[in-house]
Amino acid sequence: MLYDGMYMTDDEFLSNFRIDRACIHQLTELIKDDEVFIKCWGKRDKQPVVLHIMVFLRYLGSYGNEASLQKIGLVMGMSKGAINDCVIRVSQAILKLQKKVIRRPDEEERKQIGSRIKQTHGFVNCVGLIDGTLFHLAFAPTLNLEDYFMRKGNYAIKALFVCDDTAKITLVEIGWPGSMHDNRVWLNSDVYLAKKCISATKSTCLVIRHSWRLW
Amino acid sequence: MVPAFKKSHNAALSKERKYFNTKLAKVWTKSEHCIGLVKARFQRVRELRPVISSKRDLAVLLQMIMCACILHNLLIDHVIPEDWLEEQAEIEDDDEELEQHDNERANRRNQVLYYMMEMH
């Protein structure tokens, strides 16, 4: 599937796995040495890392009832349980990259972002754009469901994103229940609490929506 | 932090303030765009199917969302086809009453406004 252009054209591949073929190889290079892919002594060989990644991308990229483990298994020619194992392994490997990939820009990068935003939008000393979002839940939770009920009438998990002007995420804060306001999430976020302790440096600012308390 | 000026109940916004708000709205689209990209590439996070019945369920869900974010950052240079993006305009209503404007903080916004007016 990965190499045969006749079996699946590049466009089809892209729409099935949400990234193109070259990317898969790059991704494989990044996580292939992770310990979760190493064979355990006395057990059967694990599937190749590339296949793991393809399963995981298919898993993240499908929506609705297409996303069930059975259906992914049908496409990938694997059993339901094997798919689950793959997903767990890859997500463990990827989560190890978190600190490297999602981090606060350093001094030099902040200057660059600041100057880019100043050029295109006219704001000075701006290093990030902040916005809250909701991840909708299809079904009501059975644990503390009233907390997840949000103002738009269904259940959701709240998340807060800070990104720079190239849409690169520099900070995420996820996991608050949907009933909370953006602002309250922010006031409880690690960054805000840390800032309060070390008395915020005033050279940077974030651009935000209305209805936010000023920082 | 720099939020938009809010319309008071009886008076319309002045011209400068409106200008400031439009400028700000243009930058917001960037942050909206960022979230849109994550949700466009990784369709699963658009709607989460599992039922949360324990802390563990929630933790698994959050790990998945985090993975989507990390992959988004890694794949930032690879363009997402236009037709994946659909309009997911989030209507933000202003009924939240958060009028705790510290002087110092409001000053900050005014400073930015004056600076922009000069540049303009």
Residue partners of A213: CB distance under 8 A and separation at least 6: A183, A187, B98, B100
The average pLDDT across A140-157 equals 87
Alpha helices in B1-120 (DSSP H): 15-41, 55-74, 103-119
Closest CA to A156 of A133, A128, A134: A134
Q: Check CB contact under 8 Å for B4 and A130.
A: no
List b or e across A17-38, with b for residues whose CB sees 16 or more CB atoms inside 10 angstroms.
bbbeeebbeebbebbeebebbe
Spatial distance between the Cα atoms of A16 and A162, rounded to a whole number of angstroms: 29
Q: Check CB contact under 8 Å for A167 and B37.
A: yes
Spatial distance between the Cα atoms of A99 and B39, rounded to a whole number of angstroms: 21
- Please check the confidence at residue A119 and state whether its pLDDT lies above 70: yes
Of the pLDDT bands very low, low, confident and very high (cuts 50, 70, 90), residue A205 is low
- Please check the confidence at residue A164 and state whether its pLDDT lies above 60: yes
Residue-wise pLDDT for B105-119, tens only, equals: 667 777 777 777 777
The predicted structure's pLDDT at residue A154? 87
- Please check the confidence at residue A203 and state whether its pLDDT lies above 50: no
Q: Which two tokens stand for residue A14?
A: 């892209």
The average pLDDT across A184-201 equals 64
Where is mean pLDDT largest: A22-26, A163-167, B67-71?
A: B67-71
Q: Check CB contact under 8 Å for B67 and A136.
A: no
Residues above pLDDT 90, as percent of chain B: 11
- Please check the confidence at residue B6 and state whether its pLDDT lies above 80: no
Residue-wise pLDDT for A18-31, tens only, equals: 888 888 888 888 88
Residue-wise pLDDT for B56-66, tens only, equals: 989 999 999 99
- For residues B105 and B8, the model is more confident at B105
The average pLDDT across A171-178 equals 87
The predicted structure's pLDDT at residue B1? 60
Q: Which of residues 40-79 of B touch A (CB under 8 A)?
A: 41-55, 57-58, 61-76, 78
- Stretch (H or E) spanning A205: strand A205-207
Q: Does B33 touch chain A (CB under 8 A)?
A: yes
Contacts of A60 in chain B (CB under 8 A): 42-45, 64, 67-68, 71
The predicted structure's pLDDT at residue A113? 82
Residue-wise pLDDT for A36-71, tens only, equals: 888 888 888 888 888 999 999 999 988 888 888 999
Residue A105 in contact with residue A114, Cβ under 8 Å?
A: no
> Which pTM does this prediction carry?
0.81
The predicted structure's pLDDT at residue A84? 92
Contacts of B38 in chain A (CB under 8 A): 169
The predicted structure's pLDDT at residue A178? 86
Residue B76: φ, ψ to 5°: -60, -30
Residue A135: φ, ψ to 5°: -100, 110
Contacts of B68 in chain A (CB under 8 A): 60
What's the ipTM? 0.85
Contacts of A27 in chain B (CB under 8 A): 71, 74
Partners of A133 in the beta sheet?
A159
Residues above pLDDT 70, as percent of chain A: 89
Domain boundaries, given as residue ranges, for chain B: 15-94
Q: Check CB contact under 8 Å for A63 and B65.
A: no
Name which of A161, A174, A181 is nearest B96 (Cβ-Cβ): A181
The average pLDDT across A163-171 equals 84
Stretch among A116-120, A185-189, B9-13, B41-45 having the lowest mean pLDDT: B9-13
CA distance B10 to chain A (A): 18
